[in-house]
Amino acid sequence: MRAPRPGEACPVCGLPIDWVEKRVRNGHVYYYAYHYVKDENGKRKVKKCYLGADRYDYVSRKNYDLGTTFRGMAYSEADRFSEYFNSALDKLSAKVQSGTLEPEQARHWLGLLKDMNSRLERLMALLEDYLKELSKAQAQASEAYTVKELKASA
């Protein structure tokens, strides 16, 4: 996982990031994104967006049973989701392998995971269709551009 870089869209406001600042206070790391913006008079100003902590220690400690470290928006939504999801699965797998999961808990988890699996399969199919459509539209746009080039050179 990595913090946003200059030129990328800010996860808070959507503006392009001009620079990212990492601050350390009392042993905790916090991230800020900065943007150059123009005010109503056309004067250049700096806008600061708080991206959050590197890790939320208190929240992570209170949710230790999930086995994950909660993070701020300095990390991408996909990276955070993946880390949370995989950490929770690792923690659950360890409970199953060690035999510490009660049968009723196991049945409950199995039902939840079957439902999640079904939803994930639908989402994956949706993403695949989305990417196919994007690829098709890109190919059509490229073909139209090539036709224009041929006509211009003729």
Sign of the alpha-carbon dihedral angle for 37, 39, 45, 48: negative
Structural domain boundaries, residue 133:
103-154
For residue 148, is it within any domain? yes
Do the Cβ atoms of 74 and 2 come closer than 8 Å?
no
End-to-end CA distance of the chain: 50
Place of tokens 């869209």: 9
Q: Does residue 121 lie in a domain region?
A: yes
Q: Flag whether 18 is in a domain.
A: no
pTM: 0.67
CB of 12 closer than 8 Å to CB of 73: yes
Q: What's the average model confidence in pLDDT over 60-72?
A: 88
Over residues 100-148, the pLDDT tens digits come to: 999 999 999 999 999 999 999 999 999 999 999 999 999 888 877 666 6
Residue 9 DSSP class:
B
What's the domain count of the chain? 1
Q: How far apart are CA 126 and CA 134, in angstroms?
A: 12
The answer to whether position 5 is within a domain reads no
